[in-house]
């Protein structure tokens, strides 16, 4: 049976700051499996669809401007409890509340520059993966030989 999948993105600030390798490494080390990866620039319409739940909020326009301002790294990670696990690797939305050891707790300062995105639920994950990836861009048949050392 396929394990859970989640959508994670390194936002333009993370790319600009040279944190791509650092951030990807944290998900790899946690034990998640990378099944989709691309460097891309997000169009305004894709950004508005992705952040649709925040439409009308005071920070929405700034958020769209920011997320479309430079390249992002779009990723799909797979694993047991991948959605909750990725959120725990990422840390609290506001870096001032994020625990040290999390990406935001170690690498970020400001709410509007929190370097990474992660889906917050199964429904969001499915929706967001669909916005950023076509089916052919996601691995379906890669079995890692180390899997049995990560999941019982």
Q: Is 114 in the site for ligand IDP (CB under 6 A)?
A: yes
What is the smallest separation between the CB atom of 94 and ligand IDP, expressed in angstroms? 8
d(CA 6, CA 77): 5
What is the smallest separation between the CB atom of 131 and ligand IDP, expressed in angstroms? 14
What is the smallest separation between the CB atom of 27 and ligand IDP, expressed in angstroms? 16
Q: What is the torsional sign of CA 81, 1, 73, 119?
A: negative
Nearer to ligand IDP among residue 63 and residue 129 (C-beta): 63
- Cα separations in angstroms, 16 against 1, 19, 20, 31: 38, 8, 9, 26
Q: Is 63 in the site for ligand IDP (CB under 6 A)?
A: yes
Q: Is 111 in the site for ligand IDP (CB under 6 A)?
A: yes
Q: Is 147 a catalytic residue?
A: no
Mention every residue, 6+ apart, whose C-beta is less than 8 A from residue 92: 98, 99, 102, 104, 105
DSSP state letter for 58: T
- For ligand IDP, the binding residues (CB under 6 A) are 59, 63, 93, 111-112, 114, 117, 120
Please give the positions annotated as active site. 117
């Amino acid at each position: 049976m396929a394990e859970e999948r989640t959508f994670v993105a390194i936002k333009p600030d993370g790319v600009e700051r040279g944190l791509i390798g650092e951030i990807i490494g944290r998900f790899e080390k946690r034990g998640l499996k990378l099944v989709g990866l691309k460097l891309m620039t997000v169009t305004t319409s894709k950004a508005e669809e992705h952040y649709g739940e925040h439409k009308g909020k005071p920070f929405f326009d700034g958020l769209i401007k920011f997320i479309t301002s430079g390249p992002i790294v779009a990723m799909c990670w797979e694993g047991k409890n991948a959605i909750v696990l990725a959120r725990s690797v990422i840390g609290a939305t506001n870096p001032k509340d994020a625990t040290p050891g999390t990406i935001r707790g170690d690498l970020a300062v400001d709410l509007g520059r929190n370097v990474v995105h992660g889906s917050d639920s199964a429904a969001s994950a499915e929706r967001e993966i669909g916005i950023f990836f076509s089916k052919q861009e996601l691995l379906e048949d890669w079995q890692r030989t180390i899997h049995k050392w990560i999941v019982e």
